[in-house]
Structure 1
Amino acid sequence: MKTILIPIDFSKNALQALQYAQELYKCTRAEFYLLHAFAEEVYGPYQTTTVEERKTLERDIRAKVEKKLANLVSSIEGTPPNPLHRFITVAAFDSLVDAANDLVEKHNLDLIIMGTHGENSTHKTTFGSYTIEVFKYVKCPVLAVPSDFEYKQPKAILFPTDYMLPFKRRELKLLSELAGNFKSEIHFLYLSDFNVLSARQVDNQLFLKGNLTKAYLFFETAPVKNRVETILEYIKEHDVDMLTMVNSRHSFFEDMLYSSTIDQLGLKIKIPFLVMQNLPR
């Protein structure tokens, strides 16, 4: 059974991500944890209130959130409901990152699926600030679904890598099962001006092959030049349905998170983006 966390702020993008999750795991036993973290709603505009006033406000907001979450579940369960799916609602007086991490550790969750804010005048990128924070700090794979993305089976998955990371079996199992469900292709794109791999890179590539047995694997190399543009070109030319990378210290993805390249990618990517973690948990 898959355990999946979906942050819910009741926006169109969050509800779209929830619908995407239901379709993606339509034929899989799954528990969906619908999380609304509301600490900012208490502290944001009421910083000068007393402790008692904050407690009252917290209680009132929690009651409203729990009611909205219950109504949401009633509206999405379907008639008849999918017997493979179960929904658990969580109203957390906490930040999104802390609440998500607590749930991931408590329930050993497999995946977070969340909607992005879309390109707008505030963020100017597909990946809003909350999405970036979850990418960085929550110890769980994250699947970000772009605004207005219409569900499509992930038949072709692009995985840019330098083969330098010691991949985690649990993360690869998640990807392997996802690809296996849809008989998907995974295209590994090695961004390098050299075709020869080191012994370490060969070992890591063999590890990928041994753990992604349910997918059709393709291994390709592209010159470095502009890495983001190369990725975007490959997505367009090969009709890619999902992009995945690994977040780890000193990785290409970490470089992207702390530089303007994540904005370049976020401005243009129109497909779901799976960020796998290389962290112990």
Structure 2
Amino acid sequence: MAIVVMAGCGKEDSAKPSNSYVIGTNADQSNNSEGKGAHEEEPKGGSGQSSGQDAEHNGDQPSGESSNGVDKAAAADPDSIAVLINKELALPEDYEPSDLVYPDVRFTFKEKIEKRMMRSEAAKALEEMFAGAEEDGIYLAGVSAYRSHSTQRSLFNRYVDRDGEEKAKTYSAVPGHSEHETGLAIDVSGSDGKCAVEDCFGGTKEAEWLAQHSAEYGFIIRYPEGKESITGYKYEPWHLRYVGKEIAADIFARGITLEEYYDAVPVSGTP
């Protein structure tokens, strides 16, 4: 059973990217450019619920319906499980989930710390997914889940100091733009932790199981292979995002991204 814990966020100013989105139009969805970002908690080798708050969307805010009939209001609601956060669309800098809990699943570490938490609905779904995987002989472990704004800022600034801002943006999200800040995302590995947040995870039986079954529990592979020019990030088979079973099933069946689900695609391709 999950244990409810409240967590705080930092309130520092976030850097703002300059690109914009066209919401609900047929923007160029070419998948030919290579994704440049990885959501690794620590890059390898040094490089590489309703509160009334509105998301700080740079560019057009989602409203009404997209061309495919999807209600886009949820995309702009930071408390929605279907909020759209990416390199262009940000959470309010003072946002903090009100329902963070510790999911009762295996992690690659023992401490009950921030990155072990998720929002309650997502945590329950995670428990069900891990149990379902075990029934199939697949043993999963969480690597990194919730990350506060202040933690994301600290991580990002560390990378900027080490590698410079341009390079840091290729593997770390600007504060406010990380899905981990929603409490709905988690990086997952096998129980042995091998290939955790590394490209080699894509070749594991755990990654194969997640690709085929995570949508049954309401999760999507947020940064799928071949969609780098839409998501702005390289393929991350370990990065799961909870959106609920209905949306996850639709995204899985159509082989699309959350951006495409909302008909929201970067004008300039991969940032």
Per the TM superposition, whether the score is higher than 0.5 is: no
Higher Rg: 1
Q: Quick one: higher RCO (CA 8 Å, sep 6+), 1 or 2? A: 2
Return the structure number with greater helix share: 1
